[in-house]
Structure 1
Amino acid sequence: MSGDETYPATVGQLSVWRDIERFPPDRLWEANLSFVWDLPEGTWSEEQVWSALGAVAVRHASMRTTYVVDDEGFPRQRIAAHTAEEVLAQVRQGTADVADREAKDAEEIRRGIDALRELPWRAWILLDAGVPRQVLVVVNHMAADGVASVVLREDFETILGGTDLPPAPGPLELALNQQGEGSARLRNAERYWRRTMAAAPHRPETGELTPLGAVLQTGIPMPLAHEAMAKHDVTLASLILAAYYRGIQAATGEREVLLFPMSANRFDEQHARVVTSLNQWAPLLLDLEEDEPFAAILPKVHWKAFNALKNGVCSPDAIWQIRDEHARLDPPVDRGFYYNPMLAPPGFPSQDQLRPPKIDWFEHGRTTGPGFYLIVRGLTSLNLMFRVNRAGFDRDSLTTMLTTMQACLAETLGGERL
């Protein structure tokens, strides 16, 4: 494979690219993700760490890929580096002090990565008294998503520990599959999108636009959440989605709600550990009785979400056309509420006891992306982060939503009400 050969992009890569195309030049950094990896116990030299990072990139082609846009406006993949040395010459950024991690992270995530001209990631070693303790990685979303970052971290630790890993299947193989055997799934997903959006509520947005940021710290440790959730025979992601739906109902007074859960699109062994961006939104329309007990709606939300996520791989150009058609109606289709669960599996090191819940308010700097976005971070405990750029919501209405959600979670998972 030469450096001049190009290959089709995956649906996930194209989806991210279509978003990047719409970013203003000064907002390109919003396509960046950042991760901090603690180094395994032991004493590691800087060169050992850099060597392991280079080997990870040799294993996963997406970390060595740039993109070329063809005459029809479609990105194509191009392997731009083939060896660890070539990779590190571009991505190795040097070192910083562990004490400066937050400031370094905040600074570097706002430095855009040009996916057409440079490798899609950068890395720094964070030192404590001159000894490597952590690695800071900033990656363009074209190359990886949240699940892929976990795969990268696991492979990095394996290689750092002295085990060689062979090249892994990557987005080149995935793209070819999607244009061949996988094309039927794309057509089915497009039909699902059309049906769902045709049935979605059409509501104009009214009121003032007040950007809001809030984190609901539920105080619920992940082991307790997993244990309690299992009693209801639904996934934890579905349970939180049901609480989100109840919170939206409480804040808006609307029974019919259009949601967009994030589909990881990693439901089979073939794709579970592919390092690329597979995430896409899937539309989900919920219309359930407001006075129905929360426990009673859980299985309904779960199976409706399951059906939606089955249709998570869809042409972004088809989605854009469908959404544009409905946005032009008077009144337009509701913009919907977005949901991205990032939950550690059972057994992950965790907080060990319940704590009182609280809400932390913050100012977020993102102006692109979903107008109403819930990101669930479930590592040691269950934390719900909201970014709101949507007219008609203020701190009081968002507080109503968070209070309702905490009550639902406390009812099923344990914990206290706000």
Structure 2
Amino acid sequence: MSGDETYPATVGQLSVWREIERLPADRLWEANLSSVWDLPEGDWGEERIWSALGAAAMRHASMRTTYVLDEGGFPRQRVAAHSVQEVLAQVRQGTADVAEREAKDTAELQRAIDTTAELPWRAWILLDGGTPKQVLVVFNHMAADGVGGLVLREDFETILGGTELPPAPGPIELALDQQGEGSGRLRNAERYWRRTISAAPHRPPGGDAEPLGAVLHTGIPMPLANEAIGKFEVTLASLILAAYYRGIQAATGQDAVLLLLMSSNRFDETHARVVTSLNQWTPLLLQFEPDEPFEEILPKVHWKAFNALKNGVCSPDAMWVIRDEHERLDPPVDPGFSYNPMLAPPGFPSEDRLVAPRIERFEPARATGPGFYLIVRGLTSLDLVFRTRRHGFDDAAMTTMLHTIQDHLAGTIGGERL
């Protein structure tokens, strides 16, 4: 590939691009993700760390890619750096002290990355007493999603340890497949979107409200959660989704709830370790009676979510046409309640004991994105990060929702009620 060749974007990249287009100029930084990587045990010199970062970028083309708009307003991929030296000349930001990590992370996260003019990531080495201890990486969502970032970290550690890795399949190959053999999947997903949104409940008029944010620290360690889920024959993500539905139902009085599930689209071996952004929303409509036992709705939620995620690769332009059509109705269709589970696999180093649950309130920094959003962080223990600016949903409703979720998790997995 020469520096002048361009290729179509994947639907995941296009989805991120369309979201970025909707951001005001002073909020473009919200397309960034950040991560701090602890360095493995060893005597790692700075140059070896930089070299390993560059080699990881050589393995994954998305970390060397910029984007060019065609005449129709569609982004096209262009591999803009073809050597470790070219990569590091752009992304190497120097060093900082670990004591400055939090301030550095916040400041650099909020410095936008223009993916049409620069590589989509930056890195710093964090020093403790002059010794490298961590790496801070900030990347634009066009380059990678959360799982892609984990893959990049694993490959960096492998290379740092002395193992060379060959080039990996990347988003160019994925985009060409989606325009060829994978195009039928896109058409099926579009039909699914249209059916689901057409059946969704409508909502009363009302704009955005003051933002609310809270973290539900469930106190449930991941080993307990993974062990307990086996008796239900559903995934942990589905169980938490069912609890989320019951929480929304309790807080709003709605039985028919439109949920928007984050699909990472890493369901087959070919795409599981592709470093790019594969995240897209897929709709799910749930409706159960409030008195239907939780354990009876669990398998129903699981299989409905399974079907929704099968349609998780959809043209974002088709998706926005469908959503805009229904937004113009009077009253408009409910915008949905977004859900994003990020769960570490069994065996990941984790907490091993229950602790008391608690709710920690915060003021959301992000002003754009989903107006009602639950992110599940399941690394060492289950933490549910919630933010909303939904009209008519106040602090009391948020408290009811989070208490209901905790009650269902404690009743099925284990742990304490709030």
Query: One fold, TM greater than 0.5?
Result: yes
Which runs of no fewer than 5 residues in structure 2 stay unpaired?
none
Contact 2:208 2:389 in 1 (8 A): no
CA offsets 1:284-306 (integer angstroms, 9 cap, x no match): 00001111111111100000000
CA offsets 1:219-266 (integer angstroms, 9 cap, x no match): 000000000011111000000000000000000000000000101101
The equivalent residue for 2:161 is 161
The equivalent residue for 2:242 is 242
Q: 1:77 aligns to what SS in structure 2? A: strand
Give distance in 1, aligned partners of 2:410 and 2:102: 32
Tell me the CA shift for residue 364 of structure 1.
Answer: 1.0
Contact 2:186 2:315 in 1 (8 A): yes
Give distance in 1, aligned partners of 2:159 and 2:118: 25
- Within a 5 Å distance, the mapping from 1:22-171 to structure 2 comes to 22-171=22-171
Tell me the CA shift for residue 210 of structure 1.
Answer: 2.0
Give distance in 2, aligned partners of 1:108 and 1:206: 35
Contact 1:197 1:283 in 2 (8 A): yes
Contact 1:246 1:405 in 2 (8 A): yes
What is the letter of the counterpart of residue 85 of structure 1?
Q
Q: 1:4 aligns to what SS in structure 2? A: coil
Give distance in 1, aligned partners of 2:217 and 2:10: 36
- Within a 5 Å distance, the mapping from 1:288-299 to structure 2 comes to 288-299=288-299
Tell me the CA shift for residue 112 of structure 1.
Answer: 0.2
Tell me the CA shift for residue 103 of structure 1.
Answer: 1.1
The equivalent residue for 1:174 is 174
Tell me the CA shift for residue 345 of structure 1.
Answer: 0.5
CA offsets 1:169-219 (integer angstroms, 9 cap, x no match): 000000000000000000000000000001000112448712101000000
Q: 1:231 aligns to what SS in structure 2? A: helix
The 1:25/1:291 distance shift into structure 2, 3 A limit, reads same
The equivalent residue for 2:401 is 401
Contact 1:10 1:172 in 2 (8 A): yes
Contact 2:207 2:390 in 1 (8 A): no
Tell me the CA shift for residue 146 of structure 1.
Answer: 0.7
Contact 1:281 1:312 in 2 (8 A): yes
The equivalent residue for 1:391 is 391
Tell me the CA shift for residue 352 of structure 1.
Answer: 1.1
| Identical aligned residues as a percent | 78
Give distance in 2, aligned partners of 1:156 and 1:296: 44
- Within a 5 Å distance, the mapping from 1:200-239 to structure 2 comes to 200-206=200-206, 209-239=209-239
What is the letter of the counterpart of residue 378 of structure 1?
G
CA offsets 1:376-418 (integer angstroms, 9 cap, x no match): 1000100000111211111110000000000000001100000
Give distance in 1, aligned partners of 2:365 and 2:208: 18
The equivalent residue for 2:19 is 19
Give distance in 1, aligned partners of 2:231 and 2:85: 51
Give distance in 1, aligned partners of 2:2 and 2:204: 52
Give distance in 2, aligned partners of 1:189 and 1:237: 21
What is the letter of the counterpart of residue 183 of structure 1?
S
What is the letter of the counterpart of residue 412 of structure 2?
T
Q: 1:283 aligns to what SS in structure 2? A: strand
Q: TM-score, normalised on structure 2?
A: 0.99
Q: 2:299 aligns to what SS in structure 1? A: helix
Q: Does 1:306 align with 2:306?
A: yes
The equivalent residue for 1:277 is 277
Which runs of no fewer than 5 residues in structure 1 stay unpaired?
none
Q: TM-score, normalised on structure 1?
A: 0.99
Give distance in 1, aligned partners of 2:164 and 2:207: 58
Contact 1:34 1:137 in 2 (8 A): yes
Give distance in 2, aligned partners of 1:91 and 1:308: 38
Contact 2:205 2:331 in 1 (8 A): no
Contact 1:205 1:392 in 2 (8 A): no
What is the letter of the counterpart of residue 273 of structure 1?
R
The equivalent residue for 2:351 is 351
RMSD value, Cα: 0.8
The 1:207/1:9 distance shift into structure 2, 3 A limit, reads closer
